[in-house]
Structure 1
Amino acid sequence: MDIGTIHVDVLVAGGGAAGTVAAIAAARQGLKVLLIESQGCLGGSRTATGVDTFYGFYTPGNDVRRIVGGIPWEIVQKLVEEQACFERPNTYGAGTGITYDVEKLKIVYETMAVEAGVTLLYHSYACEVHSEKNQVTHVMVANKSGMTKVQAKVFIDTTGDGDLAFRGGAPFEKSSLNEMQSLSTIFFLGNVHTEEAKQVSHKELVRLMKKGNRLGDYKLPREDGSWHITPHPGVVQCNMVRVPGVDGTDPFAVTLAEIEGRRQVQEYSRFLKENIRGFEQCSLLSTSQYIGVRETRRIIGDYILTEEDVVEGRKFEDVIACCGAPVEDHQPGNGTRWAYVKGDGIYHIPYRALVPKLLDNLLVAGRCLSATHGAHASARNSAQCMAMGHAAGIAAAISIAENKAFHSIDVDSLKKRLIEEKAILNEAVETSVQ
């Protein structure tokens, strides 16, 4: 059933970290923006999946510098005002993380979007994309009311999976199931004596996992993982589950992965309770609303960011975001591959990596950017996804004002506006949430 047509300036598909910021940025430029989201909240993996920490705001190592500003940093400051976040060093050397109250972040995202004038539409999917002569003409959105036709001047794909770009005819790459990063179900435990639990080293945790598997007491697919404190006393977040060999765009495979992820949560919870000091009285509070998907389609754009670009710390004239996060490749096996940025520890994400080939009025932002498997494993961090969203929202305003395709807008104007909005494109700053 078709329930009519909606006309907007910008349609943003996907209300995760990238999409929420893209919608806010575009709406603040005076544009009529519709943001559709499949879940019942904004934030995507940052909220519904339970990933309660922003990474990518800071460079790793001893010379800590903040390299993301603008609207993403404004979001952090809102959390600070609510006393809903704190800084936390990363165990694996990915840099300082900003751990937050997931429920507070949902409210911060929604409040900022509504105040900017964004129209939100939850529980909705962009199921059809119609394009002609390299132009997306309209998108069919499905929800409980049936099908709605949405016409827009420009479109921003922040679905994570590149759904709009893919359905609109843009080329893409997808890793093989043997290479594609594994899925994870995040879980939260309550009644943990965290001070005692901190006395157990990560090395000891791994040793006990290996011993448990060897003796046949447990079935732990990943003999690794981490847990960390949250803003709530006695509550910890755990990232240990690993479900490999799953194509996150296959709904049947994802359904089985959800089932397997929750099964693993039960096993890891039991292991922690029975083996790790401080967890003796713990109880399982929740699992992620949907399983965490790290990698699916990578849209092919005007430039493909490579792992060499990342590791060599390459800089680009059309920079729209900085990143210092290492390559963090959650391989199908037990281990995670790490590769760190050389030189000054910072590389640039170019605007061209957001511009898909064969489509003139659509941008991508977030983890479906144009990047190789290795580069994607760095650039997908939350701060960078938000920074890409900020750039995409401003680029949408420029494209409409100039009546130009995204391929040919004035990138210098885009950079100037981003800097005016306190985005960091070159010089890092030494500030923190404290």
Structure 2
Amino acid sequence: MAPKKKWIVAAVWLLFAVAIGLPWFMDTASRPSANSAEVVGLTLPKAAIEKYDVIVAGTDPEGIAAALSAARNGLRVLLVDGKGRDRLGGLLTMGWLNSLDLNLAPQQTAEAKRSGNYDFLNKGIFQKWYDQLGGTSFDAHAAADLFEQMVRDERNISLLLGVKSMEPKLEGKVVRGLAITDGNGRSRVLQARAVIDATQDGDIAALAGAPYTVGREDLGNPDARMAVTLVFKLSGMTEDIWQSFGRRKDTGVDQSSAWGFLEASNYPSSNPDRVALRGLNIGRQKDGTILVNAMHIFGVDPLDPVSVQEGLRIGRREAPLIAEFLKTTFEEMKDLSYAGTAPELYVRESRHMQGEYRLTMADLMENRDFWDAIAYGSYDVDIQRLGRGDHGAIMMSPRQYGVPFRTLVPKEIDGLLVVGRSASFDSLPHGSARVVPLGMATGEAAGAAARLAIDEGISFRQLAGSRSGISRLQDMLRGQGMDLRMREARQPAYRGHPTYPGLLAAVSMGMTLGGYDNNRWDLDGLSSKDRYLTMMQRLVKMHPRYFRGKPDGMLAGYLKSGETVTLENAAHALLLTSGVQVKREQAVAELKKRNWITPATWSLISHPGGLTNGETFMLVRDAVARHAGVTYR
């Protein structure tokens, strides 16, 4: 579109907005063409109202869903972003994550798998947005335009971008709005009857004083967190090149997505302590480019702006080197060209709020439903690499689990809901619950909950404790197109194993993983020194008050790597790890004397000369329950 024509369009829109009383104002930036990388900047008029029913902080997809839901329920909404963004969509449009981790129903037809026309959980606003884009990956520019159009179509939404800072306005422990500094440096207080925190990192809740953990803190490792990614772009894609991707043995493709190229993990990083490459996830754009999600950047603190900027610099230095490696390593990519990086990092993990309920690994292992479920998840528990020496893991693959409304209600602070990846999930189940489709469902539920709480004159915390109120909320969500069915599915085989209680505890403490097929924990296989050592190390991390020993040295003295674990050795290591000094030959008797192990577990052990993985899980589970007083259930 020519510059003159763009100004005409802007003027016409402004006159139209004034004429019908829309609370929109066109910024000095003109409307771009459909395939431009930028979306029009929108801000509040100078005479804008200062009071709203709901303020939604954060313009990622979760925040957009919350704003749309609240507006469609008749509330006056302000959608505001404090990251200096010039477009809607956050991670998807600024982080270029154009291939989504999908939240699928448990059973998919062969046709759905072939065509990509999947049956999604929750549906609702996410489904309507996704269906208009088409394909398992989407064009990031088209996604931004569609988000903008969906927001524009709601007369009850005002949008404020370019904000320099925003923080909660509190009355005691109740959030009453936001104090902001806008793009012109003007400080303003915006009042609201409810605030929804849809920032990626739960910034508003944290500033309000809501309790939270960071990274792997709940697993005893607060400095560990999943790697961040800088998505990069390659140009020159043709249909012939795309089809050649699918002819590789290690790679799959559909019309818009490709995955594989596993040899990419052999990339010789120029900065191996900070950068690595994994197999590629590729999303196709409409302009002959592809976006590649594969770079891992370690040691970035998402809550430290200096660290984030350092991560961006590291990624931008490495991206062209990675592109050259791909061109020379894979024949299919030799004619592609490096074309830049995303404006923002893809951050997987930062804060984990502590809410009225905290989602646990037991919830996913048992595919639990909840009386207050307002969304459902099913994505694999995908823990990306934590650092150079770590390889990441698929902890397990749930069929379908409920997400309680209580996970959106932060402890100690009222007037506020938290949606998206920083809601109240333990760090391990967060590996599944962090995905965008589920986050958009929580956002949609939060927007409707605001309507209900305002109508009933109750707080979100009171709503979270009301079965009748939650029932009305669920009816509202169904009425606006959400699917809140718990699909029928047979329970996984591991739940029928006699050592399942031990497995549940071991998985919850990060001691073992099941992989995509939930079989890698090998319950009937013989345990080895390496596995048992990992379990003891995790005990020290998880429960340091009760397990203070140094298992590395204790086990190294009498077990060779790979050697099976006897009952005597397992008992001895367990006691030494807990600080009890005892001779090895007396360890079993001492363990029985202390009554740390249940009679049921003793009866399971049929071959003391070689314990199975399941049996060692049971020993540890009982010791933690009876010695540390913590039961995983």
What is the TM-score of this pair, normalised by structure 2? Answer: 0.61
Question: Which residue among 92, 96, 110 is the counterpart of 1:50?
Answer: 96
Question: Which residue among 105, 112, 130 is the counterpart of 2:150?
Answer: 112
8 Å Cα contact 2:92/2:98 also seen in 1: yes
2: CA distance, partners of 1:173 / 1:388: 20
8 Å Cα contact 1:60/1:325 also seen in 2: no
Q: 1:186 and 1:201, CA in 2 relative to 1: closer, same or farther beyond 3 A? A: farther
Deviation string, structure 1 residues 72-123 (Cα, Å, up to 9, x no partner): 11112332xxxxx21xxxxxxxxxxx31111111111111112112111111
Give % identity. Answer: 28
How far did 1:66 drift? 2.2
Question: Which residue among 183, 196, 204 is the counterpart of 1:164?
Answer: 204
8 Å Cα contact 1:189/1:236 also seen in 2: yes
The number of aligned residues is 406
How far did 1:266 drift? 1.5
Question: Which residue among 317, 323, 346 is the counterpart of 2:400?
Answer: 346
Q: 1:200 and 1:77, CA in 2 relative to 1: closer, same or farther beyond 3 A? A: closer
Question: 3-state DSSP class of the match of 1:11?
Answer: strand
8 Å Cα contact 1:136/1:168 also seen in 2: yes
1: CA distance, partners of 2:180 / 2:91: 22
Say yes or no: does 1:239 pair with 2:293.
Answer: yes
Say yes or no: does 1:187 pair with 2:232.
Answer: yes
1: CA distance, partners of 2:440 / 2:119: 18
Which residue of 1 is the match for residue 448 of structure 2? 394
Higher gyration radius (CA)? 2
Q: 1:420 and 1:123, CA in 2 relative to 1: closer, same or farther beyond 3 A? A: same
Q: 1:171 and 1:229, CA in 2 relative to 1: closer, same or farther beyond 3 A? A: closer
Which residue of 2 is the match for residue 305 of structure 1? 359
How far did 1:399 drift? 1.1
In the alignment, structure 2 segments of 5+ residues that lack a partner are: 1-45, 110-117, 216-220, 252-259, 464-468, 489-633
How far did 1:278 drift? 1.4
2: CA distance, partners of 1:218 / 1:349: 39
2: CA distance, partners of 1:266 / 1:292: 18
8 Å Cα contact 2:69/2:447 also seen in 1: yes
Instruction: Write the letter of the residue equivalent to 2:356.
Output: D
8 Å Cα contact 2:126/2:441 also seen in 1: yes
Instruction: Write the letter of the residue equivalent to 2:99.
Output: T
Question: 3-state DSSP class of the match of 2:439?
Answer: helix
8 Å Cα contact 2:99/2:282 also seen in 1: no
Aligned-CA RMSD value: 2.4
Q: 1:150 and 1:229, CA in 2 relative to 1: closer, same or farther beyond 3 A? A: closer
Which residue of 2 is the match for residue 36 of structure 1? 80
1: CA distance, partners of 2:121 / 2:176: 37
8 Å Cα contact 1:197/1:276 also seen in 2: no
2: CA distance, partners of 1:135 / 1:12: 16
Which residue of 2 is the match for residue 413 of structure 1? 472
Which residue of 1 is the match for residue 428 of structure 2? 374
2: CA distance, partners of 1:322 / 1:69: 10
Instruction: Write the letter of the residue equivalent to 2:175.
Output: V
Instruction: Write the letter of the residue equivalent to 1:198.
Output: G
2: CA distance, partners of 1:224 / 1:404: 48
- Report 1 or 2 for greater relative contact order, CA contacts < 8 Å, sequence distance ≥ 6: 1
Question: 3-state DSSP class of the match of 2:189?
Answer: strand
Question: 3-state DSSP class of the match of 1:242?
Answer: strand
2: CA distance, partners of 1:297 / 1:238: 26
Shifted more, 347-356 versus 127-136: the winner is 127-136
Structure with more helix by fraction: 2
Q: Which structure 2 residues correspond to residues 415-434 of structure 1 after superposition, within 5 A? A: 415-427=474-486
8 Å Cα contact 1:197/1:277 also seen in 2: no
2: CA distance, partners of 1:208 / 1:370: 35
Instruction: Write the letter of the residue equivalent to 1:49.
Output: G
Deviation string, structure 1 residues 145-169 (Cα, Å, up to 9, x no partner): 2222111110000001111111111
Question: Which residue among 40, 43, 68 is the counterpart of 1:24?
Answer: 68
2: CA distance, partners of 1:380 / 1:209: 24
Q: 1:174 and 1:200, CA in 2 relative to 1: closer, same or farther beyond 3 A? A: same
What is the TM-score of this pair, normalised by structure 1? Answer: 0.87
Q: 1:233 and 1:109, CA in 2 relative to 1: closer, same or farther beyond 3 A? A: closer
Question: Which residue among 141, 145, 154 is the counterpart of 2:180?
Answer: 141
Q: Which structure 2 residues correspond to residues 254-273 of structure 1 after superposition, within 5 A? A: 254-273=308-327
In the alignment, structure 1 segments of 5+ residues that lack a partner are: 80-84, 87-97, 430-434
Deviation string, structure 1 residues 16-69 (Cα, Å, up to 9, x no partner): 011000001001111110001231111111111000123334147766642121
Q: 1:61 and 1:283, CA in 2 relative to 1: closer, same or farther beyond 3 A? A: farther
Instruction: Write the letter of the residue equivalent to 2:100.
Output: F
8 Å Cα contact 2:264/2:326 also seen in 1: no
Question: 3-state DSSP class of the match of 2:159?
Answer: strand
Instruction: Write the letter of the residue equivalent to 2:229.
Output: S
Question: Which residue among 379, 382, 400 is the counterpart of 1:328?
Answer: 382
2: CA distance, partners of 1:267 / 1:201: 25
Instruction: Write the letter of the residue equivalent to 1:238.
Output: V
